[in-house]
């Protein structure tokens, strides 16, 4: 099972999560604070995450991310990025 490390305000939380789940859903399931104003539908950027390690272990960027201007290699929308392996992300406060 993949390990996801969330960095929120300098505090790291490592959790295990099923492959194929989004960063947002994993954070919500594990009690990690993350904004999601649009309910995880990819229409805002409040769940923006900076990928610190393991970006290659996230599913491919989709049209919703690109349409919201999330195109930097180390940035992903938590509601759209699916976990396929170990990853470490910083949750960005907008």
Tens digit of each residue's pLDDT (9 = 90 or more) over 44-91 = 999 999 999 999 999 999 999 999 999 999 999 999 999 999 999 999
Residue range 20-30: mean pLDDT, rounded: 98
What are 91's two structure tokens?
């949750």
| Measured torsion, CA atoms of residues 91, 83, 56, 9, in degrees rounded to the nearest 10 | 10
Contact 88, 81 (CB under 8 A): no
Check pLDDT > 60 for residue 94.
no
Sorted by where each begins, the domain ranges of the chain are 3-91
- Check residue 92 and give its pLDDT: 84
Q: Tokens 């940035």 map to which residue? A: 75
- Check residue 93 and give its pLDDT: 74
From CA 25, how far away is CA 31, in angstroms rounded? 10
Q: For the domain 3-91, what is the CATH superfamily, name and number?
A: Beta-grasp domain (3.10.20.30)
Q: Which contiguous run of DSSP H or E holds residue 12?
A: strand 11-16
């Amino acid at each position: 099972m993949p390990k996801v490390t969330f960095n929120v305000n300098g505090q790291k939380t490592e959790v295990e999560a099923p492959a194929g789940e989004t960063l947002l859903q994993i954070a919500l399931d594990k009690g990690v604070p993350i904004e999601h104003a649009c309910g995880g539908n990819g229409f805002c950027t409040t769940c923006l995450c900076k990928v610190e390690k393991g970006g290659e272990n996230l599913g491919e960027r989709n049209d919703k991310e690109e349409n919201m201007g999330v195109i930097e290699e180390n940035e992903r929308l938590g509601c759209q990025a699916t976990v396929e392996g170990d990853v470490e992300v910083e949750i960005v406060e907008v």
